[in-house]
Amino acid sequence: METLYMACLIGGILFALVSIVFGDWLGQALDGVLDFLSADGLPFLQPMTLIGGITVFGGAGILLERYSPLGAFVIALLAVLIAIVAGALVFFLYVRPMENSENSIAFSVKSLSGALAEVITPVPEKGYGEVLVKVGAGVTNQIAASFEGKPIASGATVVVVEVKDDTLYVSEVDLHLNS
């Protein structure tokens, strides 16, 4: 049994090293050949969870075999239980939260209402200018018109009052008000 445990441990460690070092490259080179491993219908059967469980099974089996007086069947059963618990922990503490995380720089123009912006192209009384709005960790320039019908100079700070037809209607804000 020690050979099985050692093979599981070494195989899991090699899989982790290969996926860390060559993971992106292999994913591009194989272009979806290994997609069947993700088991879309069963979210807890992710490769990370399965390989993590197999690796823990091997490690737990080796430790129990070397340092406990238990029989081979009991050691194998305990190693399987420990692997199941470790796999569940990996799934609930890492895989599942990562599935719910969002990594997107997309935004909706409608969500800019109320945002502060800086005028980069002057906004005339009637017509359009351009503003720079901070969105997440970046900035975007958008077409803007004066909400109050007053001209707004370049460099002024404005607030987006309304968004209509992909145009931001802005009003100048004085951030240096004395109280």
pLDDT by residue (tens digit) across 119-163? 999 999 989 999 999 887 788 899 999 999 899 999 999 999 999
pTM above the 0.75 mark? Answer: no
3-state secondary structure of 136: coil
Provide the token pair at 62.
């080796």
Q: Which pLDDT score, from 0 to 100, does residue 171 have? A: 93
pLDDT, mean of residues 42-49: 72
Q: How far apart are CA 31 and CA 28, in angstroms?
A: 5
Q: How far, CA to CA in Å, does 6 sit from each of 54, 65, 93, 122, 176?
A: 11, 11, 26, 70, 69
- Confidence grade of residue 94 (pLDDT, cut at 50, 70, 90): confident
**CA proximity to 153, closest of 114, 118, 113:** 118
Q: Closest by alpha carbon to 169, among 105, 107, 120, 110?
A: 110
CA gap 147, 126 in Å, rounded: 10
Nearest-CA neighbor of 44 among 14, 89, 83?
Answer: 89
